Structure 1
């Protein structure tokens, strides 16, 4: 599903037929089907992100007191949907597309490390499968989420960050809303992405479902 780089081509082997991954790609997660998005998250003006350095402290160039570095997310829960998942890290494939959790880890959510840490300013992106060849996956019921629902992300230090769902949309993978998903924001935002919609001739979902949330 997901990918990220100027030429968002996905490998045919990356997404098996009927396997629904959350496509976070350059131009937009164009997900489970072959597509050539026009731009990637890298093409969007980056937001100010906080470096993730476990157990380290970062000081600014002025010599002011150091502040704890942001902690990477390790767990996410959505009580209203019964979702409880560890979080794995996702980067980029060699072809510049965004990685997605492997099919055998369909019940595990992935965090795109090219964006902010959940809770920091800007849009943190979590990607998960809807279904895989092994069956239902972690974001299978994401389409049932409602406005105002709570999403809780726990970081490596055990701190819990709560987000409130503000909306959701279904977008064609050929017209992914890259700016809305990856673009700069003044708030501390969270995006959840998975596959959605009907299947094409190759058995790939033609749409992506995107859930928008902001920190409480």
Structure 2
């Protein structure tokens, strides 16, 4: 009986992993071309998060990260920029993660079928837009908005919060993406956020590449500057502002 139970559990685990791989593959293959008329991007009004530039951004972080079940905001503390968040699953084509509404250039979607934000294990997957002609968060990120060590604060509807430190990025072309890799989806590795945006636009508006931006969970006393190491879950990931050029097939 125990042997049959173990076999059943193994079968269930294989099915779950296979389903996630299919969803990931569909995400990288989905049509990202923009409509003939580019939607008006919505740019958030930057929110001042500190009165003086000398205040340590970690002062706004909790003493211990909290799991966030309903994220509603993300703040780039080093840039005084606060943006709304949505909880989304698969898109209409079955790709993960679903993207925010098309005209919301500064909204971030959290993939709610993966690790929670603030979790002590695995990558919490996020997505946001890049517009071919600018005006979205992805454009700012791809132009070098973040610097190594920048602090990201995520807040939930119930007051829960967690902070992450920007630690690097990965560049992958859609044609070269391996759904079996852990560059985006990883439920067992070190606690991180992985924010994916489009890149490498073709003349017809199709995004041929993706940029993934990582942040390591800040743990313990913020004053002690403890950060969970992402080394265990960084296959294909590099230090800040460095891109991995995928091997050509």
Calculate the TM-score normalised by the size of structure 2.
Answer: 0.57
- Rounded Cα–Cα distance in structure 2 between residues aligned with 1:147 and 1:139: 17
Deviation at 1:71, TM superposition (A): 2.5
State the partner residue of 1:5.
Answer: 23
Looking at secondary structure, tell me which structure has more helix per residue.
2
State the partner residue of 2:185.
Answer: 182
Where do 4+ consecutive residues of structure 1 move more than 4 Å?
A: 9-12, 17-20
Aligned residues: 164
Alignment of 1:214 onto 2:212: no
Please, which runs of 5 or more residues in structure 1 have no aligned partner? 21-67
Which structure is larger by alpha-carbon Rg, 1 or 2?
Answer: 2
State the partner residue of 1:148.
Answer: 149
- Rounded Cα–Cα distance in structure 2 between residues aligned with 1:6 and 1:153: 24
State the partner residue of 1:194.
Answer: 197
Looking at secondary structure, tell me which structure has more strand per residue.
1
Please, which runs of 5 or more residues in structure 2 have no aligned partner? 1-20, 40-65, 219-249
- Rounded Cα–Cα distance in structure 1 between residues aligned with 2:131 and 2:80: 16
Decide whether the 8 Å contact of 1:81 with 1:141 is kept in 2.
no
- Rounded Cα–Cα distance in structure 1 between residues aligned with 2:79 and 2:129: 15
RMSD of aligned alpha carbons? 3.0
Calculate the TM-score normalised by the size of structure 1.
Answer: 0.65
Pairing of 1:13-162 with structure 2 (within 5 A): 15-17=33-35, 70-98=68-96, 99-120=98-119, 121-131=121-131, 136-143=135-142, 144=144, 145-162=146-163
Decide whether the 8 Å contact of 1:87 with 1:110 is kept in 2.
yes
